[in-house]
Amino acid sequence: MDVIERIYEIDIDKNSEQPLYIQIYEKIRDLIELGILSANAKLPPVRKLASRLNVNMVTVINAYRLLEDNGYIYSRVGSGTYVSPMKAKSVQENILHDEDRIIRDDFKLMDRGQVYIRSDAINFAGNSLSPEYFPVDIFKNLIIEILERDRGYAFGYQESQGFLPLRESIVNFLGEYGIYTTPDNVQVISGAQQGLDIVSKALLNFGDKIIVESPTYAGALAVFNTRGAKVIEVPVQSDGINTELLEYNLKNNRIKFIYVMPDFQNPTGISYSLEKRKELLRLAKKYNTLIIEDDYVGDLYYGESKEMPLKALDNGETVIYIKSFSKLFMPGLRLAFLVFPTKYYDEILSAKHISDISTSGLIQRVFDLYIRRNLWKSHIENVRRIYKDKFKKMIDNLQKYMPKEVKYNLPKGGFNFWFSLPDGINSSFLYGEALRKGVLIIPGMVFFNNSALGERYIRLSFAEVKDEDIEKGIEMLGNIIKQHMDKKVQKSLSPLL
């Protein structure tokens, strides 16, 4: 079908509280931003679109005006309305301009599952629990209970460090991870991203050097870069960060901290061996630096158990531990916590205070009950069971459809598979081709400060993809790759990591 025909297919909901013209505005904006409508494409006449969508002409006029006000379209007198070339750079063109911060930000949004996704898209981009598994009813009842119990106090200013009973609950449940601490060493935060921001404010001065895994989480790179830090990227191997290169960099630089995700690393999915964990700690102590441990989705292991967090192996002084509740629970809640060595008490509390004073008191109180009643624990067990099945389905279909020239390590948990592509196809091209066929993936570039390094890699997440889409999506990707990779025999490709 003609691409402009897509406009006639947009979904509007006449029962929504959202005005119709805003709905139309948003849908057309998304078509432009996704590169589906290209530069200078002619939009349908107002009368025709109004009649096809069965709305008033004024509604369409208002939507077009808003698009024009925001630079998405322009009109030519007596001729019609067109997509503005400024906004409609084709997606592929955008990706080739990979230094473009705005576009990189789009990917970051995608990395968090935030991009405007066609409702029929097969989503291998989203990276947190699928909404169908949110424990909405239980949580709703707890909210009502808290409002009846605490009344106005739930809405007053909260202690900046976090609601004390919640910090106690956190301390108790950390015991199960082998982490023993006190409520005074816990800072409640509004999501793990804020944790990275707070740690940066507390510890980094302009020009300080830090070490990150390469590749690493795009949102971490963004926050460290904006703080003016010099970021040194040390490659990860299948059992954790390359400790020889790590030591080389520690020896030759004064490093403020090392940022790592030891379990089911984002994006590679690899986990640190116990030896690597111990070696990392030893090096951090030897060179008198700190480790920021981001316990990304550590609860989501598919074996019998997993290795201990670094924080559990630490004497309490070397590791700042960040754990999100949002990612495996309800990401829109924005709730996480930090465990920090006592000596950083002032810096961490002050950084939280200047960031947003405190995290929502209502959410803290409700989540405290959720932990106290063991609901968190049973929720996690449930989620683990569901995702273990999805994980198996991924592996079956990867074996079936992915050409053997595409290399990957088998993750032990988490949501992510990380692939190295064969010669002849790079990840921005694959991203664009897949998008056109309705499959969303994340190209590797967003996980490196030097994005050229990412051209060989893609990440697939199965957090938000529907069970019934897994086979279709992987088959499509496999076909695109087969079609474009160098046909000559590929010899002795090195293993991925």
**Binding to a second copy, residues 337-366 (CB under 8 A):** 342, 346, 349-351, 353-363
State the minimum distance, in angstroms, from the CB of residue 98 to a second copy.
Answer: 16
**How many other CB atoms are found less than 10 A from the CB of residue 410?**
12
**Phi, psi angles (nearest 5°) of residue 368:** -55, -50
**How many other CB atoms are found less than 10 A from the CB of residue 103?**
19
CA distance 84 to 42: 10
Tokens of 478: 């496999």
DSSP-derived secondary structure letter, 42: B
406 vs 463, beta carbon nearer a second copy: 463
Q: Are the CB atoms for 71 and 87 separated by under 8 Å?
A: yes
State the minimum distance, in angstroms, from the CB of residue 349 to a second copy.
Answer: 7
State the minimum distance, in angstroms, from the CB of residue 438 to a second copy.
Answer: 21
Applying CB under 8 A, the span of 38-46, 84-92, 159-167, 260-268 interacting with a second copy comes to 159-167
Applying CB under 8 A, the span of 215-223, 401-409, 417-425, 440-448 interacting with a second copy comes to 215-223
Contact between 201 and a second copy by CB under 8 A: the answer reads: yes
State the minimum distance, in angstroms, from the CB of residue 148 to a second copy.
Answer: 8
Applying CB under 8 A, the span of 73-81, 146-154, 300-308, 389-397 interacting with a second copy comes to 146-154
Contact between 416 and a second copy by CB under 8 A: the answer reads: no
Q: What 3-state class would DSSP assign to 291?
A: strand
Contact between 105 and a second copy by CB under 8 A: the answer reads: yes
State the minimum distance, in angstroms, from the CB of residue 66 to a second copy.
Answer: 7
* From 85, 131, 178, 403, residue interacting with a second copy (rule: CB under 8 A): 131
Contact between 372 and a second copy by CB under 8 A: the answer reads: yes
What residues between 168 and 187 interact with a second copy by CB under 8 A?
A: 168, 182-184
CA distance 34 to 445: 18
Contact between 69 and a second copy by CB under 8 A: the answer reads: yes
* From 4, 10, 46, 164, residue interacting with a second copy (rule: CB under 8 A): 164
CA distance 89 to 198: 35
Q: Are the CB atoms for 434 and 480 separated by under 8 Å?
A: yes
As a residue count, the chain comes to 497
CA distance 177 to 199: 22
**Phi, psi angles (nearest 5°) of residue 340:** -130, 150
State the minimum distance, in angstroms, from the CB of residue 158 to a second copy.
Answer: 5
Look at the alpha carbons of 106, 110, 112, 113 in this order and tell me if their dihedral is positive or negative.
positive
* From 54, 152, 176, 487, residue interacting with a second copy (rule: CB under 8 A): 152
* From 59, 123, 128, 318, residue interacting with a second copy (rule: CB under 8 A): 128
Helix locations, 9-100, DSSP H? 20-33, 46-53, 57-69, 91-96
72 vs 408, beta carbon nearer a second copy: 72
